[in-house]
Structure 1
Amino acid sequence: MILLLLLGAHLVSAGKHSLRYFYTGVSGVSDFPEFISAGLLDDHQFDYFDSNIMKVVPKTEWIRQNEGADYWDSQTQGLIGYHQVYKNNIQEAMKRFNQTSGVHTVQVMYGCEFDDQTGETNGFRQEGYDGEDFLYLDLKEMRWITPVQEGFPSVQKMNNDRALLEARKHYFSFECIEWLQKYLQYGKSSLKKTVSPQVSVLQKSSSSPVVCHATGFYPKEVTISWMKNGQDHDEDVEVGELLPNEDGTFQRSSGLRVTPEEWKKNEFICVVEHQGETKIANEIKTNTGDSLPIVIIVGVGVAAVLLLIGIGVAGYKVYQKKKGERDSDNIIIIIDYISCFI
Structure 2
Amino acid sequence: MKSLMSLFSKMTGKNNISKITHSYQYKFTAAYGVQDFPEFVGAATVDDVQVGYCDSNIKTVKPKQDWMKKLFERNPEHLEWYSQKCLGNQHVFRANIDILKRRLNLTEEGPHILQRMNGCEWDDETGEVIGFNQYGFNGEDFLALDLKTLTWIAPKSQAVLTKLLWDDEKARLEHNKHYCIYKCPDWLKNYIRHGKSFLQRTKNPSISLLQRTPSSVVSCHATGFFPGRAEMFWTKDGEEIHEDVEKGEILFNNDGTFQMSVEFNVSSVPPDGWRRYDCVFQLSGVGDDIKITLDKSVIRTNSYPPEFPAALVAGIAGGFLLLLVIAVIVLWLKKRTGFRHVDGED
Query: Which TM-score tier does this pair reach, normalised by the shorter chain?
Result: 0.7 to 0.9
Aligned residue identity for 2:278: I
Q: Residue 19 of structure 1 contacts residue 111 of structure 1 at CA under 8 Å; is this kept in 2? A: yes
Q: Which runs of 5+ in 2 are unaligned?
A: 1-17, 316-322
Q: Residue 202 of structure 2 contacts residue 225 of structure 2 at CA under 8 Å; is this kept in 1? A: yes
Measure the CA separation in 2 of the matches of 1:250 and 1:118.
Answer: 27
Q: Cα gap change, 1:221/1:271 in structure 2, threshold over 3 Å: closer, same or farther?
A: same
Question: More deviation in 96-105 or 131-140?
Answer: 96-105
**Structure 1 match to 2:24:** 19
**Structure 1 match to 2:281:** 272
Question: More deviation in 213-222 or 237-246?
Answer: 213-222
Percent identity (aligned): 36
Q: Residue 139 of structure 2 contacts residue 329 of structure 2 at CA under 8 Å; is this kept in 1? A: no
SS at match of 2:256: coil
User: Counterparts in 2 of 1:142-181, with a 5 A limit?
Assistant: 142-181=150-189
**Structure 2 match to 1:247:** 255
Measure the CA separation in 1 of the matches of 2:179 and 2:26.
Answer: 14
Q: CA deviation at 1:129?
A: 0.8
User: Counterparts in 2 of 1:42-81, with a 5 A limit?
Assistant: 42-68=47-73, 69-81=76-88
**Structure 1 match to 2:220:** 212
- Two-structure CA RMSD over aligned residues (Å): 3.0
TM norm structure 1: 0.81
* Residue 95 of structure 2 is aligned to residue 84 of structure 1: no
Q: CA deviation at 1:149?
A: 2.8
Q: CA deviation at 1:184?
A: 1.1
**Structure 1 match to 2:337:** 315
* Residue 245 of structure 2 is aligned to residue 237 of structure 1: yes
Question: More deviation in 302-311 or 196-205?
Answer: 302-311
Aligned residue identity for 1:273: Q
SS at match of 1:55: coil
* Higher RCO (C-alpha 8 Å, min separation 6): 2
Q: What CA deviation, in whole Å up to 9, does each residue of 1:43-65 have, x standing for no partner?
A: 11101111122221111111011
Q: What CA deviation, in whole Å up to 9, does each residue of 1:113-150 have, x standing for no partner?
A: 22222222121111111111111100111111212233
SS at match of 1:118: coil
Q: CA deviation at 1:316?
A: 4.7
Q: CA deviation at 1:201?
A: 0.8
Q: Residue 228 of structure 1 contacts residue 266 of structure 1 at CA under 8 Å; is this kept in 2? A: no
Q: CA deviation at 1:153?
A: 2.8
Q: CA deviation at 1:193?
A: 0.4
Q: Residue 222 of structure 1 contacts residue 272 of structure 1 at CA under 8 Å; is this kept in 2? A: yes
SS at match of 1:234: coil
Q: CA deviation at 1:73?
A: 4.1
Q: Residue 243 of structure 1 contacts residue 299 of structure 1 at CA under 8 Å; is this kept in 2? A: no
**Structure 2 match to 1:331:** none
Report the number of matched residues.
Answer: 311
SS at match of 1:266: helix
* Residue 306 of structure 2 is aligned to residue 298 of structure 1: no
